[in-house]
Amino acid sequence: MNKNQKIISVVSLLIILIVAGVLIFNNNKSDKTNGENKVILPKENAAAKDELDKGVQELLNVIKSKGLKNKTFELKNNTFIGDEISITSELPKEGKIIVSDSGETSLALKNDYYCATKETIDSNITMTNRIYDCNIATVSSCFKYKKDGTNATITYYEGGVNCPKDVIIPTTIKGLLVTKISNQVFAYKELTSAYIPTSVNHIDFMAFNNNNFPNNKAFIFQRKEDGSIDSTKIVSYAGKNRDRVIIPNGVKRISDAAFMNSRIKEIVIPSSIIEIGNNAFAANELTKINIPTSVKKIGYAAFNENKLDNASAFIYKLNDGVEDKKVLISYGGKEKTNVIIPNNVQTIGVYAFSGTYLKSVIIPNSVVKIMASAFESNQLIDGSVTIDNPRGSVEIDESAFNNNGLDYISKIEPKYLK
- 396 sits in which H/E element: strand 395-396
- 362 sits in which H/E element: strand 361-363
Q: Which of 360, 363, 370 is nearest to 416 (CA)?
A: 363
* Phi, psi (deg, nearest 5) at residue 191: -75, 150
User: How many other CB atoms are found less than 10 A from the CB of residue 171?
Assistant: 25
Q: What Å distances lie between residue 234 and 5, 8, 179, 251, 359, CA to CA? A: 11, 11, 18, 7, 33
Per residue, what are the HEC states of 22-75?
EEECCCCCEEEECCEEECCCCCCCHHHHHHHHHHHHHHHHHHHHHCCCCEEEEE
Label residue 175 exposed, middle or buried (CB < 10 Å: 0-12, 13-18, 19+).
exposed
Per residue, what are the HEC states of 192-223?
CEEECCCCCCEECCCCCCCCCECHHHEEEEEE
The β-bridge relationship of strands 385-387 and 361-363 is parallel
Half-sphere exposure of residue 132: CA atoms within 13 angstroms, side-chain side: 28
Instruction: Compute the distance between CA of residue 265 and CA of residue 288 in angstroms, rounded to an integer.
Output: 9
Instruction: Compute the distance between CA of residue 88 and CA of residue 47 in angstroms, rounded to an integer.
Output: 17
CA torsion, ordered 161, 166, 168, 173, to nearest 10 deg: 20
| pLDDT tens-place values along the chain, 418 residues long | 443 333 333 223 222 222 223 222 333 333 333 334 567 788 889 999 999 999 999 999 999 999 999 999 999 999 999 999 999 999 999 999 999 988 899 999 999 999 999 987 666 899 999 998 999 999 888 999 999 999 999 999 998 788 999 999 999 998 899 999 999 999 999 999 999 999 999 999 999 999 999 999 999 999 999 999 999 999 999 999 999 999 999 999 999 999 999 999 999 999 999 999 999 999 999 999 999 999 999 999 999 999 999 999 999 999 999 999 999 999 999 999 999 999 999 999 999 999 999 999 999 999 999 999 999 999 999 999 999 999 889 999 999 999 999 888 889 899 998 7
In contact, 196 and 11? CB cutoff 8 Å? no
202, β-bridge pairs = 180
Q: What Å distances lie between residue 237 and 9, 209, 215, CA to CA? A: 11, 5, 10
In contact, 235 and 211? CB cutoff 8 Å? no
The β-bridge relationship of strands 314-319 and 275-276 is unpaired
Per residue, what are the HEC states of 95-107?
EEEEECCCCCEEE
Instruction: Compute the distance between CA of residue 92 and CA of residue 73 in angstroms, rounded to an integer.
Output: 12
Sign of the CA dihedral running 169, 146, 118, 16: negative
